[in-house]
């Protein structure tokens, strides 16, 4: 595993670690659902309550999850797709893309769903998936992890969650990743000097 891959898996592991630390702080079993209202003490927030001074929650809320299985899936996709992206991009760019894309998704959730609580790393992993589908070769496992991550997210939003469509935060996170991936491809193609993207 490359250094960049290890760092992205470290990010994924930190999400799992935060879950266990929050469970300990709440005094409940590790596999038990963590309720959104309780998570506000750690950085989750209701969309309509977000203020400029609370903008740090756009980052912190990405480490907080309500459901154990959801948290594990998000962490796995971040690790798989993120590590694959570090084979084509410098790891700080991949990390920044995931976290900034996730924050944009959290903000979109707050603006378009003001009555909903905002938490989770789905927006961040979808940003990685958006870029990954463009810059990771489709024969690579990381590309397929990105495809699975996208299909699962859309399926949960449209079929199982009772929403009439894709959640705004998920859509925005994915679009941020698509735009970043597209820009990187264009810059790499027209760069006269050193390539931005490594050979996959």
pLDDT for the residue 189: 80
CATH number at residue 98: 1.20.1540.10
Residue 193 is predicted with a pLDDT of 57
Say how many domains are in the chain: 1
Q: Is residue 186 part of a domain?
A: yes
- Give a yes or no: residue 196 inside a domain: no
On whether residue 200 sits in a domain, the answer given is no
Per-residue pLDDT tens, the chain, 200 aa: give them.
Answer: 789 899 999 999 999 999 999 999 999 999 999 999 999 999 999 999 999 999 999 999 999 999 999 999 999 999 999 999 999 999 999 999 999 999 999 999 999 999 999 999 999 999 999 999 999 988 999 999 999 999 999 988 888 766 678 899 999 999 999 999 999 888 878 765 566 676 65
17 within some domain = yes
What is the pLDDT, as a whole number, of residue 61? 97
Residue 155: which domain range?
A: 3-190
Compute the chain's Rg from CA coordinates: 17
Residue 197 located in a structural domain = no
Half-sphere exposure of 29 (CA within 13 A, CB side): 4
Is 199 domain-assigned?
Answer: no
Give the 3-state secondary structure of residue 45. strand
Residue 42 lies in a domain: yes
Distances (CA, A) of 137 to 2, 89, 109: 18, 13, 31
Q: Is residue 21 part of a domain?
A: yes
């Amino acid at each position: 595993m490359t250094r960049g891959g290890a760092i992205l898996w470290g990010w994924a592991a930190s999400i799992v670690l935060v879950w266990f630390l929050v469970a300990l702080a709440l005094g409940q079993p590790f596999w038990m659902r963590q309720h959104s209202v309780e998570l506000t003490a750690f950085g989750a927030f209701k969309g309509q309550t977000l203020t400029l001074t609370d903008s740090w929650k756009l980052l912190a809320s990405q480490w907080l999850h309500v459901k154990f299985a959801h948290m594990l899936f998000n962490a796995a996709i971040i690790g798989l797709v993120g590590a694959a992206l570090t084979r084509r991009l410098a790891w700080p760019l991949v990390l920044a893309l995931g976290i900034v894309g996730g924050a944009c998704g959290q903000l979109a959730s707050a603006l378009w769903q003001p009555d909903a609580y905002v938490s989770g790393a789905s927006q961040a992993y979808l940003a990685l998936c958006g870029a990954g589908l463009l810059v990771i070769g489709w024969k690579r496992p990381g590309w397929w992890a990105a495809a699975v991550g996208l299909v699962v997210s859309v399926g949960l939003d449209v079929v199982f969650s009772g929403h009439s469509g894709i959640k705004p935060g998920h859509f925005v996170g994915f679009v941020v990743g698509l735009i970043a991936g597209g820009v990187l491809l264009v810059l790499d193609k027209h760069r006269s000097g050193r390539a931005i993207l490594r050979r996959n």
